[in-house]
Structure 1
Amino acid sequence: MKLKSLILGSVAAAGLSTAGYAADLGVLTSLDVCDALGLSGLTISSDTNCLQITGGVSYSFEWGDYRGSWPTAGVLHSPRSTMDNDEIAPGVNNDWRSKVEAWLKFVGTADSEFGPASVTLKLKEVQDVRVTNETVVDSPDGAALTFDEAFVSIGDTTVIMAGKKGSIANFGDDEPLNWLGTFGSDAADKGVRWDMIDGNLDTGGHVIQVVSSLGNGVTAKIGLENLNDSLPAYAGTLVGVLEYAGDGLSAHVTGLAGGILDGVVEAWSVHAGFTATLDTFKIVGAAAAQHDGVDTDWNALLSASATFDMFTIALSGEALGGNIHNTDFGIGGSIGAKVTDTVSLNLGGKYYDSNNGGDDAYQIAAQIVAAVTETVKLTGEVGVYGNITAATSDFYGKAELAWAPGGDFTSSLAGEVHQNGAYKVTFKAAKEFK
């Protein structure tokens, strides 16, 4: 008993001594400030400020013969997105890409009479080298480390932000629910595209923003963004958002007016969407339109899914058009089955009807996903892309082995081969801390 008491007393004394020494240093003191502000994670506190530190690195490497002459996803009214092989000379056909993305973020927060006052500094560097047919086509390798975000904010239910940061615009509630999605959604980087005519209606950058929670799930946002545009005619984008988030329903409408600093609106756009969930049913609806002073283009999507026991059925439909385009249509559907706790199956297809000089296209595919262990997942897929206009088809197969051992570390190795001769191997690894 005496030995036990001596050990416990020594531990207590050491703890008190360490705490006193840390207080003398002025850093790594008690977490009372962070706790009072409701902040957690990797933090350092002083008497008045709590500093949160987060960061991460992601790496990806692709190699094969896959960057051919076919249009790739990202161009509306041109749905073909399969890989294609080519060569500029005998034996000169290899493609590869090596990309490293690193970021480090600091958020320092203190209390004020108006609510938490914060400064956010995010350092980011991207090194991305792309090679097509053994010729470098894009190489910002060694790009300088820059501030991706640098802004101040203050407030609680109403927050005022100013500096360099992302947009307050809400472009969500617009992704198709079927497994393969739709061709138009792929071209819009998953969803309904709001900037269909040109790239001159920019968001984010240098901003002044106000976000206010009105209660009952309603939030209003307004901001001046893109104040640093290098083209004076397009500088300044006015962004307004009204959104709702409640039980089983989220919805929003976002409006944008670009180039307002010179007193003339060069372009405007609107994006609206909703997601409703009721027991086993879910529905997503979204629409967007843009006008550049002369022409108007629009994009709309409606998608629904239903789950019955082990099966999930989903259908999606989309339309794209305007006064500079004829109306294109796209549909997609899928059925998924959870066979066991560790194995699931997906079967789906999608079709695109182009009326703007493009090619009608389709894709049909089947997928199996198996959790081999708690940290290892294996995914396999086979399918076919079809070009109806050209009467061609391209069968393909791909597999991915994903590993997530914990500690916010993820890694994967994937391979893909096509009937047309294209192939690609992809390795990825990433880790974040927070």
Structure 2
Amino acid sequence: MKLKSLILGSVAAAGLSTAGFAADLGVLTSLDVCDALGLSGLTISSDTNCLQLSGGVSYEFNYGDFRTEGVVAGTFDGNRNIGVRDGAADWNTKVEAWLKAVGTADSDFGPAKAVIKIKEVDLTRVSRTGAGAVAVDNDGERVGLYIDEAYVAVGDTTVVMAGKKGSIANLGDDEPFNFLGLFNSDAIDGKGVGIDNDYTGLGGHVIQVVSDLGNGVNVGVGLENLNDNTPSDRILNNAPAADDAVDPTRAGTLVGVVSYAGEGITAHATGAAFGILDGNVEQWAVQAGATGTFDAFKIRGAVSYWDNHKATTADVLNALVSVEGTFDLFKIALSGEVANVTNAPANIETGNVGNYTDYGFGGSVGVNVTEGVAINLGARYFFDDVSAIGQDKSTVQVAAQIVAAVTETIKVTGELGGYFGNAIADNATFRNDSIVYGAAELAWAPGGGFTSSVKGEVNSEESYKVTFKAAKSFE
């Protein structure tokens, strides 16, 4: 939809009456600057600039007995938690809204842009214990009204960008194909292999240059995190976090990236050096991934390494490989991962600094039973090395899932599965040596960019959770 079409329609009718109005119409036809720049969507034009507007609103509500959690597969990079009943209801309610404006004009170097994105997150998270105590917090998430992006850019095949925005780092081509995924991959924000747990030190205040070299090759270099954009740099309950002060040793990240896309292959390599503004590299990381598509088969491999050579935290190597084959009625996927940790911080159980290697496997089979109905069968295993105290915190998950398109706009998904292994049996939080769970979801997408869903989950730890979501975006 274009607002200018409505404007032009009205002006055209008025412009036919007098020569004076015709002259005005000649000015207003310059609204076609959006078309001249190749821009579409919801746009408003002046004689030299095209303004694109986009935005969205999403809502999520969770209710149940789920805030008490137990770890089922702990790794250095994170863990997977399962809700355990504590006898009191918990709930989260969250509204997220954003509005983005992009103003574009032509220049001798290519399109010149100014981008402003405003975002608001309104979140209440209530956790209650069996004794009736109530804790209200925002779960470490930034809340309130703030500017999410504000930057300028100019260029065509080569683009220069400066301001507040996301990173140019390419961290893709690293998620497993099997429908359950992999344990360590799930523990990393964004899944995959990551380059650190929260991608800290990337984006924020930046100066970046990216260039399309042709034949599917793109390169980029940037100075990022010039404002020390760390996880602690958030607003909690509309007040700065306690450690929100800028640390000069963390500020400044030099990012370089090269990527390729074409002929059934996508691949990239990203490197980053952290904390460079004080003249020293505090940490560095690399991440690379590639995906190849060959007729009925896909293969993917990815690796990342994070070196904290001037810090006391661990150095981490994460890697995975995944293959998928699609046949007439079947889809088969197999995946494997490894996480090697050296110079780990003191273990809470042993009190020792340790080195260890964790690994995992996963696989799934998908079957198209009828048109619109599919069944997925999957399993995954994770070996969590706690050899320092003679323990194997391994975990196994198996699951069966059915996905049915009831109508063109309604989809129903059901899943039944369980967790087994020493990570369950040895965890004092869990009441059982194994955990069985069930989940059902009804999703509705009637069109117009509107989506909604309701999902219910329950497990043998007597925990339950009901989630409602609704969202709509426009552009």
Alignment TM-score, normalising by the size of structure 2: 0.83
Please list, as runs of the form range in 1=range in 2, the aligned pairs for 1:386-397 lying within 5 A after superposition.
386-391=420-425, 392-397=433-438
Match of 1:352 in 2: 382
C-alpha contact 1:379 1:401 (8 A) present in aligned 2: yes
Partner in structure 2 of residue 192 of structure 1: 193
Q: Secondary structure at the match of 1:173?
A: coil
CA 1:203–1:77: 2 relative to 1, 3 Å? closer
Question: In structure 1, what is the Cα distance between the partners aligned to 2:23 and 2:62?
Answer: 50
Q: Secondary structure at the match of 2:184?
A: helix
| Aligned-partner Cα distance in 1 for 2:47–2:60 | 42
Q: Distance in 1 between matches of 2:141 and 2:356?
A: 41
Q: 1:389 to 1:100 in 2, by over 3 A?
A: closer
| Deviation of the 1:28 alpha carbon | 7.5
Q: Are residues 21 and 350 of structure 1, via their aligned partners in 2, closer, same or farther at CA, if it must alter by over 3 Å? A: farther
**Alpha-carbon spacing, 1:131–1:287, altered in 2? closer, same or farther (3 Å):** same
The answer as to 2:317 corresponding to 1:298 is: yes
Within a 5 Å distance, the mapping from 1:1-400 to structure 2 comes to 14=13, 16-17=15-16, 24=24, 31-71=31-71, 76=76, 79-87=79-87, 93-133=88-128, 135-139=134-138, 143-189=143-189, 190-195=191-196, 201-229=200-228, 230-294=246-310, 295-324=314-343, 325-356=355-386, 359-391=393-425, 392-400=433-441
Assess, with a 3 A threshold, how the Cα gap between structure 1 residues 274 and 113 changes in structure 2: closer, same or farther: same
Write the deviation string for residues 58-104 of structure 1: whole angstroms up to 9, x where unpaired: 000000001113138896466543222224xxxxx211111111000
Name the TM-score, length of structure 1 as normaliser: 0.90
Identify if the C-alpha distance between structure 1 residues 27 and 327 changes in structure 2 by more than 3 Å, giving closer, same or farther: farther
Cα distance in 2, alignment partners of residues 166 and 358 from structure 1: 39
C-alpha deviation, 1:132, in angstroms:
1.2
Compared CA separation, residues 335 and 266, structure 1 to 2 (3 A): same
Whole-angstrom CA distance in 1 between matches of 2:146 and 2:181: 35
Q: Which runs of 5+ in 1 are unaligned?
A: 1-9, 88-92
2:22 and 2:375 map into 1 onto residues whose CA distance is 55
RMSD: 2.6
Change beyond 3 A, Cα 1:78–1:208: closer
Q: 2:467 aligns with which of 420, 426, 429?
A: 426
Alpha carbons of 1:68 and 1:48: their partners in 2 closer, same or farther (altered >3 Å)?
same
Correspondence for 1:90: none
Q: Counterparts of 1:312 and 1:15 in 2: how far apart (Å)?
A: 61
Structure 2 unmatched runs, 5+: 1-8, 229-245, 344-354, 426-432
- Identity, % of aligned positions: 58
**1:5-49 deviation per Cα after TM superposition (whole angstroms, max 9, x unaligned):** xxxxx9997274599969859998554101111100000011100
Mapped contact 2:122–2:144 kept (Cα < 8 A): no
Cα drift, residue 247 of structure 1: 1.9
| Matched residue type, 1:376 | I
The change in CA–CA distance for 1:374 and 1:289 in structure 2 (over 3 A counts) is: same
Counterpart residue type for residue 92 of structure 2: R
User: What is the DSSP-based 3-state SS (H/G/I as helix, E as strand, rest coil) of the residue aligned with 2:185?
Assistant: helix
- Aligned-residue offset at 1:176: 0.2
Name the aligned partner's letter for residue 256 of structure 2: G
Q: Could you say what secondary structure the match of 1:192 adopts?
A: coil
* Higher mean C-alpha deviation, range 266-275 or range 70-79: 70-79
Question: Could you tell me which of 384, 387, 405 is aligned with 2:446?
Answer: 405
Residue 83 of structure 1: SS of its match in structure 2?
Answer: strand
SS of residue paired to 2:370: coil
Q: Distance in 2 between matches of 1:256 and 1:314?
A: 32
